[in-house]
Chains A and B, each alone.
Chain A
């Protein structure tokens, strides 16, 4: 109860002083990282506003056939990550598994930071975002998965913010309630995101229940990588030794073990998805799957998705034994790179087979091509900037997300 008493005694002035002191206590590399991330946000904002003003035709490389590009992929990446952080962190402070408790505060904060990164990107991806704010509310379509996804993610963000607030003021009952509700909203929102793809009748590669199920498992896998990576970085930012923080080391070890389990789950999912798309050569699915196996997306698939996203992190996580932090850091870093490419491939490969491909007409007899534009790349980097900036500043404002050992 030390923390509660301290909070009660602390005046607003003292809090301000404390925050200011911590913000000015960073190393040079800390400030360089803060400035770079802020510049990325600025660059992304300028690119986004310019694309809105000048029109998307000349600024984005998406078109009527490949209507979703890197921005949707990056949005999916961020919301997958956020949901994963929420789910993995809830194992501890919501469902009471003690070994997961030390990671709770930072993970909840990161889930907010990552979803805000995602919202930053989607705000510029949507071509008329201001109408979304009005007509999502006054003209909702309850059969639309994208409406449910947007609405539930809105609720999820609010719940995660309250959860973080209650965790910080040590109102644990409220925090557990918000954490549980947030996890439910997150799962509902995230499976709806899967259904945004999975229930599109016009796109064979996505169609089916697989996407909703896969997205949840994939979210948790991503969550483990992000927790390990950002906890490693956070201790560097705060100039503290992670090795000496025994409870945190134990917590990261169980996260690592969960990560290994989920990597194998995703390997299993991916294998059967690919086998099902190739065996018997089902129309639409087969061409997309072959684009991944031996076509234009083969390098992405084998090198980044299979190698970076699954195999190498599996080996590194296993070999680290939960004690070699460098190995865990590199494992989670390359895993996140691989996962980003997974999202990119998932979004793009689902669209590269044209609607009239099966008819063999001259206009649509080959796979479609897409490469992101300069504006799209800048907005994507802006999303990363939002998350990294919030993480860095959050570490100082919230004093390294210290965990009260009594809770």
Chain B
């Protein structure tokens, strides 16, 4: 360190005007991350949650593993529990009444000041380190190498349900008609593979809760919402270490 300083001291001051925007952001992020750690860990840290989706810090520090890297950001404070997303999902993906691919959870705090209820939509988190795929004995469920969606190869599913027990997000159920486990695939089989660029739940949502897109594309909304510092972005059950691709946030103006 001393050697570096002595090497640098005779050099001219470059001035702050020469520091790039990216470098400034990195510096700010580092500061905020340190603050977050002292405030009680990364969960309440105001840094971007994007690092949580990288399968390993070294391998994916500068790039996303999938192209497109499908992701969804959920603006929980906009959700009104109209369940149109659930209806659209059922219709699009032939989900039976005993199962669900997406659901809206209700959190109530009667003595809270102001808003007393909150709705939390949940679905498969399309994890970068999916435990379901690791535990499946026959590779019936797998992480697609192109788009990163956790897919089901129904003909290989033996119905042991280990994937469901390995999933920290309760995202799977056994479909008696398919004779296989069923789960959210971001409507890949029905819509995305046919050229559509949105999921049925996102399209059906009247409150702009579900924003679907490519996390690797700087022009996409999901990219802009996740790669920023002003608003908190978090993932569910981060301790599971599965690097989910579903992000949660609050307080964004309608756009």
Residues of A whose CB lies within 8 Å of any CB of B are 55-57, 62, 64-65, 67-68, 126-129, 131-132, 135-136, 139-141, 143-147, 150, 196, 199-203, 351, 354-356, 358-364
Q: Cβ of B165 and Cβ of A203 under 8 Å apart?
A: yes
Q: Cβ of B138 and Cβ of A140 under 8 Å apart?
A: yes
Q: Cβ of A201 and Cβ of B242 under 8 Å apart?
A: yes
Asked whether A131 and B157 contact (CB < 8 A) given A200-B131, A361-B105, A361-B120, the answer is: yes
10 contacts between A and B (CB under 8 A): A56-B159, A127-B160, A131-B138, A131-B158, A132-B160, A135-B137, A135-B156, A139-B139, A201-B131, A355-B168
Indicate whether B22 reaches chain A with its CB closer than 8 angstroms. Answer: no
Size bin of chain B's contact surface:
35 or more
Q: Cβ of A201 and Cβ of B241 under 8 Å apart?
A: yes
Q: Cβ of B176 and Cβ of A57 under 8 Å apart?
A: yes
Q: Cβ of B164 and Cβ of A64 under 8 Å apart?
A: yes
Chain B residue at minimal CB-CB distance from A141: B139
Residues of A within 8 A of B241 (CB): 201
Chain B residue at minimal CB-CB distance from A207: B240
A59 CB to nearest B CB, Å: 11
Once bound together, how far apart are the Cα atoms of A394 and B173, in whole Å?
42
Once bound together, how far apart are the Cα atoms of A64 and B99, in whole Å?
8
Residues of B whose CB lies within 8 Å of any CB of A are 98-99, 103, 105-108, 120, 122, 131, 134-140, 155-162, 164-170, 172-174, 176, 179-180, 236-237, 240-242
Q: Cβ of B131 and Cβ of A56 under 8 Å apart?
A: no
Once bound together, how far apart are the Cα atoms of A368 and B99, in whole Å?
17
Residues of A within 8 A of B176 (CB): 55-57
Residues of A within 8 A of B131 (CB): 200-202
Asked whether A143 and B159 contact (CB < 8 A) given A356-B105, A359-B107, the answer is: no
Q: Is the interface of A mostly helix, strand, loop or mixed?
A: loop
Give the one of B120, B122, B131, B164 with max A CB within 10 A. B164
A320 CB to nearest B CB, Å: 41
Q: Cβ of B122 and Cβ of A128 under 8 Å apart?
A: no
Q: Cβ of A362 and Cβ of B105 under 8 Å apart?
A: yes
A36 CB to nearest B CB, Å: 31
Once bound together, how far apart are the Cα atoms of A358 and B219, in whole Å?
35
Chain B residue at minimal CB-CB distance from A363: B105
Q: Cβ of B135 and Cβ of A146 under 8 Å apart?
A: yes
A126, A203, A355, A363: which contacts B159 (Cβ < 8 A)?
Answer: A126
Once bound together, how far apart are the Cα atoms of A140 and B138, in whole Å?
5
Residues of B within 8 A of A361 (CB): 105-107, 120
Q: Cβ of B240 and Cβ of A202 under 8 Å apart?
A: yes
Once bound together, how far apart are the Cα atoms of A144 and B164, in whole Å?
14
Asked whether A131 and B155 contact (CB < 8 A) given A64-B173, A144-B136, A202-B240, the answer is: yes
Residues of A within 8 A of B122 (CB): 356
Chain A residue at minimal CB-CB distance from B166: A200
Q: Cβ of B167 and Cβ of A202 under 8 Å apart?
A: yes
Once bound together, how far apart are the Cα atoms of A132 and B242, in whole Å?
27
Residues of A within 8 A of B103 (CB): 363
Residues of A within 8 A of B164 (CB): 64, 67
B8 CB to nearest A CB, Å: 46
Q: Cβ of A201 and Cβ of B138 under 8 Å apart?
A: no
Chain B residue at minimal CB-CB distance from A202: B168
